[in-house]
Amino acid sequence: MTTEPRRMLEVIDLMVFFENALAINGLNMEVREGEIVGVIGSNSAGKTTLMNALSGLIIDMRIKEKRRGGERITVYGAIRFNGEDITATKPEERVRKGIVLARERHPVFPESSVLENLKIAGYLKKKSEVKETVAHVFELFPPLAKLQTRKAGFLSGGEQQMLAIGMTLVVRPRLLLLDEPLLGLSPMMQRVVVEAVVRLREQTGITVVLSEQFARPVLPVIDRGYVVENGMLALSGTGRELMANPEIKSAYFGI
């Protein structure tokens, strides 16, 4: 008898308001240990707001907006990580707990080399751990291994995305959040990134939540997926179930 993987992340009735605009509306989801879970949705569906809420960045955004008299950001509902309520936990504390976000167009240090960027990301880790993880990053992303001394500012968009994901891996996350990692990449580079995520899970058992509007390369590799529309959960199921769904085929595959 096989036991079901432990529930790592729970999102319960999450609502996020920007002033009077509702960005996330009563969203519920769960992520089990070792899964690759996809959050699929079109542009402005609420995916990035969800990822900011999971990582805690929404807390920093709320504080900054309040200081400068900007729009009011309000969050309701609960987020639990390994059974602990982290709804009010600051992003840096969530990183210490193992929740790490690679944002859409994640900033790199353009004047530093690829290798230097990876070492900078691991400044809180032991040198031996950083060395080991950097070697693993180059194994996952062979193109980066050939560009170790190149300044990050001279990398292509796809190479910068690989570097950004590599920088998050140096922190050794337990839960890796990837916000639109395929945005702006060529189909070939999309495949490289998706295959690397699959290998990463196979080799380390890491748990991944991946938000994406490009469903075609993502659905075949996720364990389960959530389709978000206008901040609300529209559909959920296994990757295979979503691929076979006529609504998904029509909306995302054009068939």
Question: Helices (DSSP H) in the chain: which residue ranges?
Answer: 47-55, 57-67, 91-97, 114-121, 127-140, 142-145, 157-170, 187-204, 215-218, 239-244, 246-248
Cα distance between residue 246 and residue 201, in whole Å: 29
144-162 burial, b at 16+ Cβ within 10 Å, e below that, comes to beebeeebbeebeebbbbb
The DSSP code for 251 is I
**Residue 135 and residue 142 in contact, taking contact as beta carbons nearer than 8 Å:** no
Find the helix packing angle between 187-204 and 157-170, rounded to 10°. 10
* Residue 116: C-alpha distances to residues 111, 147, 167 (Å): 10, 11, 10
- pLDDT tens for the chain, 255 residues long, are 556 789 999 999 999 999 889 999 999 999 999 999 999 998 889 999 999 999 999 999 999 988 888 889 999 999 999 999 999 999 999 999 999 999 876 678 999 999 999 999 888 788 888 899 999 999 999 889 999 999 999 998 888 988 999 999 998 999 999 999 998 888 988 998 999 999 999 999 999 999 999 888 999 999 999 999 999 999 999 999 999 998 888 887 755
The predicted structure's pLDDT at residue 247: 85
Architecture of the CATH domain 33-47+90-253:
3-Layer(aba) Sandwich (3.40)
| Tokens found for residue 10 | 């729970």
pLDDT at 105: 64
Nearest-angstrom CA–CA distance, 132 and 111:
24
The residue type of 247 is E
Q: How far apart are the C-alpha atoms of 221 and 238, rounded to whole Å?
A: 10
Measured in degrees and rounded to the nearest 5, phi and psi for residue 252 equal: -115, -20
Question: Domain spans of the chain?
Answer: 33-47+90-253
Q: Count of alpha carbons within 13 Å of 199, Cβ hemisphere only?
A: 13
Question: Quick one: pLDDT at residue 238?
Answer: 94
